[in-house]
Amino acid sequence: MYYRPRTLHEAVHTLAIHGGQILSGGTDFFPALGERPVSTPVVDISALAEMRGISIESDHVRIGGLTTWSEVIRTPLPPCFDALKSAAREVGSVQIQNRGTVAGNLCNASPAADGVPPLLALDAEVELVSAGGMRRLPLAEFIVGNRKTARRPDEMLVSVIVPRELEHARSAFLKLGARRYLVISIAMVAAAVKADGAGRVAAARIAVGSCSVTARRLLELEADLVGARSSAGLGALASPEHLQRLSPIDDVRATAAYRHDAALTLVRRALEACVEKR
């Protein structure tokens, strides 16, 4: 059966009664089917206008789950979102960015999902809604493994909530692939650095993707950067030991050793990009 609810209320009740798979932009959903026909009910949520768009509230920014990557790129946002915007430009091609949604990227939970490191670095939370109510989870707790999330089958990811705490931090996203465009990453890094009035790092957040089953924050490095001069040379403070939380694998795209090396270089470059004079 195919359902296309018009309201969030209708959507969560459809899911509660019939179950089935959620369909948003379909850019992960359809490729995952391969040659197989759809064998479960489908709840197409693409008509839920209330889940689209980005709004700036008093203490957070709310990104509706159906917001596309093109909308992320187009929406004027504070500098801490520059990394997310760069990641959005890296998701497939313009056609994919026009269809693919932020929630679809997070719920698909690929270790190589471009949206995850920038949102982890923004301390994002996800809002999950079911017929029974709403709950919020930190993104770091929502994605629990390779294509595994903490979402219950009757829940929809309705919004991503980003606290405005680091709003004026500078941020950067770097992705390394075997070619420049339309590529699954070998490693990727998102960084955000906030400087205090004296030009020192007041807060830093760094997340690495494609180098573990789930993207990871480098908490030890973040702590070590606080108090350092927020200027050229900051990247040199990142050392191989700071990447110990990562567990890259060998696969067709790269060896684990290469990924490790590449991740360190990307971390250093991303930090430099955050303190570069503009």
Site of interaction with ligand FAD (CB under 6 A): 21-29, 31, 65, 90-92, 96, 99-101, 103-105, 107-108, 113-114, 151, 156-157
Q: Minimum distance from CB of 170 to ligand FAD (Å)?
A: 23
Smallest separation (angstroms) from ligand FAD to the CB of 245:
21
Minimal distance in Å, beta carbon 173 to ligand FAD?
A: 12
Structural element, H or E, at residue 90: helix 82-90
Residue number, 18 or 168, with CB nearest to ligand FAD: 18
Q: How far is the CB of 171 from ligand FAD (least distance, A)?
A: 18
Closer CB to ligand FAD, 181 or 198, in the complex: 181
Q: Cα-flanking dihedrals φ and ψ of residue 53, to 5°?
A: 90, 170
Task: Tell me whether residue 35 or residue 241 sits nearer to ligand FAD (CB atom).
Answer: 35
Q: Which is nearer to ligand FAD, 6 or 168 (CB)?
A: 6
Cα–Cα distance measured from residue 233 to residue 224, given in angstroms and rounded to the nearest whole number: 14
Nearer to ligand FAD, 26 or 163 (CB): 26
Cβ 176 to ligand FAD shortest distance, Å: 12
Q: How far is the CB of 230 from ligand FAD (least distance, A)?
A: 30
Distance CA 133, CA 129 (A): 6
Cα dist from 162 to 47, 64, 126, 154, 261, whole Å: 24, 11, 9, 24, 30
d(CA 141, CA 128): 13
Which CB, 20 or 235, lies closer to ligand FAD? 20
Closest distance to ligand FAD from the beta carbon of 267 (Å): 19
The gap from C-alpha 39 to its chain's centroid, in whole angstroms, comes to 29
Residue 192's nearest CA partner among 214, 161, 225 is: 225
Residue nearest to ligand FAD (CB): 104
Number of helical (H) and strand (E) elements in the chain, helices listed first: 10, 14
- DSSP-derived letter for residue 37 is P
In whole angstroms, what is the distance from residue 13 CA to residue 11 CA? 5
Task: Decide: helix, strand or coil at residue 233.
Answer: coil
In angstroms, the CA 97 to CA 111 distance is 19
Nearer to ligand FAD, 5 or 235 (CB): 5
